[in-house]
Amino acid sequence: MALRLNPSTGHNIAKALVQRGMLDFDHETKLYTLGPVLYALGVRAVEAGNGVVAVAQPFLREWVATTRFVVFLARMLPSSEIIVVEKEESSQRIKVTVDVGERFPLSAAALGKVFLAFMDPSEREVRMKKLALPGYTNNSIVSMPEFRKELERVQTCGWSESRAEYYSISNAVAAPIFDHAGCLSHVVCSLAATADMRGEDLSRYGRALADLAARIGETASRSKAS
């Protein structure tokens, strides 16, 4: 071994790292990969120099101070997965939350709707051809024509919603953040238990989050230009 460790010592160290969430171990392949702790740290390191993430932090805190709901930024990976790159935790004692580094499929309700609605149309069609619409809950949209109609609504109003479509216990709203060239950069999303983020209030929260997203994008663009 390059580190000149006894194999048993190396095994014990790796086992300890797995227990602490720094490594994952696949029992079938016998391979180690980055665990959730190191993966989240890696995401933060990559995003640290990103203007949007740095600029967004006070806006995310503002949202939590006003609503008490968790709010987070997400990006889409080349694999079409959506990854959480920054968050501001809910101030409620009993809360719905997410973790930095957590991944979601492109079909993940509010998040996926925004990414698909505001990406380049040709790219959207390529991804839509491969998109599955599983029934995560009884409220999930599983009809492609209905899903396309929903994307048109998102494009018109500027934000998306999930009425217990991904998690049966929570509602969510999401909105796009555009860069200085007008291209989709990130998505900001907030979620909470259905009893807290009530269905009748989603339009109000959606419009407020779209305004927040616009201010983040404008501030990041000004920061980059200066």
Is 41 exposed, middle or buried, given 0-12, 13-18 or 19+ CB atoms closer than 10 A?
middle
pLDDT digits (tens, 9 = 90+) for 141-170: 999 999 999 999 999 999 999 999 999 999
85: tokens are: 């790159």
pLDDT tens-place string over residues 163-198: 999 999 999 999 999 998 999 999 999 999 999 999
| Token couple for 130 | 């491969």
Q: What gap in Å lies between CA 136 and CA 128, rounded to an integer?
A: 18
Amino acid at 148: R
Would the pLDDT of 224 be above 60? yes
Average pLDDT over residues 205-217: 97
82-88/31-34 β-pairing: unpaired
Q: How many residues does the chain have?
A: 226
Residue where the block lists tokens 């269905």: 199
**From-to residues of CATH 3.30.450.40 in the chain:** 39-225
Instruction: Categorize the per-residue pLDDT at 130 as very low, low, confident or very high, splitting at 50, 70 and 90.
Output: very high
Q: Which fold has domain 39-225?
A: Beta-Lactamase (3.30.450)
What's the CA gap between 24 and 115, in Å, rounded? 29
Q: What is the Cα 51 distance to its own chain's centre?
A: 17
pTM: 0.80
Compute φ and ψ for 161, nearest 5 degrees. Answer: -140, 160
